[in-house]
Amino acid sequence: MGIDKRRLLRNTGRAVAVTGALGVAGLTYASVIERNWFRLRRYELPLLPPGSPRLRVLHLSDAHLTPGRRMLIDWIRGLERYEPDLVVNTGDSLAHPDAVEPFIEALGPLLDRPGAFVYGSNDLFSPQLKNPARYLWRTSKTDYNKRRVPDLPWRELGAAMSASGWLDLNNRKGALKAGGLEVALGGVHDSHIKLDRYDDIAGPADPTADLRLGVLHSPEPANLDRFAADGYQLMLAGHTHGGQLCLPFYGTLVTNCGIDRRRAWGLHEYAGAWLHVSGGLGTSPYAPVRFCCRPEASLLDLVAGPEGA
């Protein structure tokens, strides 16, 4: 074998080794470091009537909790120190049949505060092993076409939150008092599994309320349009995981629903209202990685708008 050929083989071997090492390092970072690198996003939004006190809303979503995720449980529990006036959980809290008790433990003292919730598909149906690359060309909606009978304890989850006084907003309306303000709420079940029934809550939101809040798991435009048209000022959703695997300088690759990539997470204007999509706190146990998309909860400080607004 000639010298040039041996040099080429050595260089090729080195390139393969370096590429493999970078792949292992990236996977380790995404699964061990970033997946557990929780953050609290903070926003301020002038939505309340003039002269109103501040209303602090804590938005939780997509914990996908399994009993062994101690770091996540403790981090959620520690959010009480921010003293939210209202807590909203937009679903996909579970990823294991034994996760209800750990999730309620995670909420802990937050359950003593006014709250509301909807379900996501993964509160009813357990995660399954599948190729995550399929999300590049289709959503996971079709994965549920043959899954008719829920196998996760969603009723127990809902009962535990309802027992603390939280509003069940799955295709329901409700009202509560938080931070001295009257809040009107409407919510729908998860459109991803075709359980949303907006017609059940259709009609103008209470115009006398200090705040009108729409709650849903998956930010499907068909439902968002109706919430906005009915006068809900702020809509809270989850489901997207912010893309979960994002590219530097490009951002979210896919949203796994009808919302556009630009609004896969964060606070955005939408049809004359505001939409906040949480990037979520967890992942499926079969895809336990995040890249350029840290797990998060959000704290929205709602303040008084200007006179005449």
Q: How many angstroms separate the first and last alpha carbons of the chain?
A: 81
Q: What is the dihedral of CA 199, 201, 207, 213, to 10 degrees?
A: -110
70-85 pLDDT, tens digit each: 999 999 999 999 999 9
pTM: 0.90
Candidates 161, 154, 182, 169; CA nearest to 237 is: 169
Left (φ > 0), alpha (ψ -120 to 50) or beta: where does 203 sit? left
- Strands, E, within 24-100: which ranges? 39-48, 55-60, 86-89
- Name the amino acid, one letter, at 75: W
Q: Which residue has the tokens 């809550």?
A: 201
- For residue 80, the Cα-to-chain-centroid distance in whole angstroms is 18
In the chain, % of residues over pLDDT 90: 80
Report the alpha-carbon distance of residue 261 to residue 258 in Å, rounded.
9
Q: What is the dihedral of CA 85, 110, 243, 237, to 10 degrees?
A: -50
Question: What mean pLDDT comes out for the span 15-24?
Answer: 40
When pLDDT is cut at 50, 70 and 90, the band that residue 147 belongs to is confident
Question: What mean pLDDT comes out for the span 118-127?
Answer: 96
pLDDT on residue 113: 98
155-208 pLDDT, tens digit each: 999 999 999 999 999 999 999 999 999 999 999 999 999 999 999 999 999 999
pLDDT on residue 15: 37
Which span out of 3-7, 137-141, 142-146, 258-262 was modeled with the highest average pLDDT? 258-262
31-66 pLDDT, tens digit each: 889 999 999 999 999 999 999 999 999 999 999 999
Mean pLDDT computed over every residue of the chain: 90
Whether residue 55 contacts residue 86, with contact meaning beta carbons closer than 8 Å, is answered with yes
253-296 pLDDT, tens digit each: 999 999 999 999 999 999 999 999 999 999 999 999 999 999 99
Residues 6+ apart with CB under 8 A from 6: none
